[in-house]
Amino acid sequence: MTPERREALARVQELAVRLLFSGALLERYRTDPGGLLAELHIAERDAQLLPRIDDDAFRAEVRGRRLMLARGLAEVFEKTATHLAGERIRPDEWLGMPFFSLFLASDWFFEPRFGLPHPSGIGPGYEMSSKFFGWLVETYDLASPSGDGELRALAYHDFGLYLLAQRDHAHDAWYGRLAEGIAFQGDLEPGAPVVQIRVDPATRRLKTSIDDTRSPGIGDLDEIATHQQERRRQHEGHRSAKSAPDL
């Protein structure tokens, strides 16, 4: 197989995967398949390798895969999702939420380098909660004083609790930086207090406190978010230098 053919098949495979998750891309393929294939440099003869999007089996797979993701994220971001939806929603109701559809269509969902290492040590790309967190920070401007302060507090708190839960059984060394707990600035106004989530030595339970400064040795969630956004910007710079379009 030539390198050119290998690249052509890789483009087909990437489109096939994205059709399972991105509602916007699926609708574009349904209404203008020829235009989309031409834009992505996919030959018509390779279109037969793509899924038949109107088949019941494909529809069932789309729903199943999206629901599996929604269940995992709903468990972590319950309060965040309630704020975004305006009411408490079940995992299956995530499938009809605009914020979930936008996330699944974004580079944050598809790009492995945007997520944190998986706690099991299997490598990048499999840890989805950190990708959703990064997407929230970017989409709702949560790292800026102009962003939604209430959403920031909820998203950071939800994600912080999740990270601490993963830390307790993680095999990846990255999680060692959370040994003493995690902290983030409650809002981004000058002099704003710091929210710290730590393990109470007496009860071994998580305890949230509001302090003036971060304690030594505690994980910094603001720093984690900053590093994610930096990786995102690097990806954008790399993508803009490529000649072929991205999906």
**DSSP per residue, 59-80:** HHHHHHHHHHHHHHHHHH-HHH
| 74 shares its domain with 112 | no
* Distance, CA of 153 to chain centre: 18
* Distance in angstroms (rounded) separating the CA atoms of residues 25 and 19: 6
| 176 shares its domain with 227 | yes
Write down the pLDDT at residue 238: 62
Write down the pLDDT at residue 159: 95
Domain annotation covers residue 115: yes
Domain annotation covers residue 100: yes
Mean pLDDT, the chain, whole residue set: 88
Q: How many domains are there within the chain? A: 3
Write down the pLDDT at residue 235: 79
Write down the pLDDT at residue 239: 58
Element (H, E) at 85: helix 78-85
Write down the pLDDT at residue 246: 55
| 124 shares its domain with 203 | yes
Compute the chain's Rg from CA coordinates: 20
| 120 shares its domain with 88 | no
* Tens digit of pLDDT at every position of the chain (247 positions): 898 899 999 999 999 999 999 999 999 999 999 999 999 999 988 999 999 999 999 999 999 999 999 999 999 999 999 999 999 999 999 999 999 999 999 999 999 889 888 888 777 667 899 999 999 999 999 998 888 989 999 999 999 999 988 887 888 888 888 888 899 887 777 777 888 888 776 666 777 777 766 777 788 898 998 988 898 888 777 655 554 455 5
CB 163 within 8 A of CB 182: yes
Note down the domain range covering 80.
70-105
| 121 shares its domain with 197 | yes
| 17 shares its domain with 110 | no
pLDDT digits (tens, 9 = 90+) for 133-178: 999 999 999 998 888 989 999 999 999 999 988 887 888 888 888 8
Write down the pLDDT at residue 202: 63
Write down the pLDDT at residue 125: 66
| 120 shares its domain with 139 | yes
Cβ count within 10 A of residue 43: 11
Write down the pLDDT at residue 240: 54
| 167 shares its domain with 222 | yes
Name the 3-class secondary structure at 196. Answer: strand
CB 244 within 8 A of CB 238: no
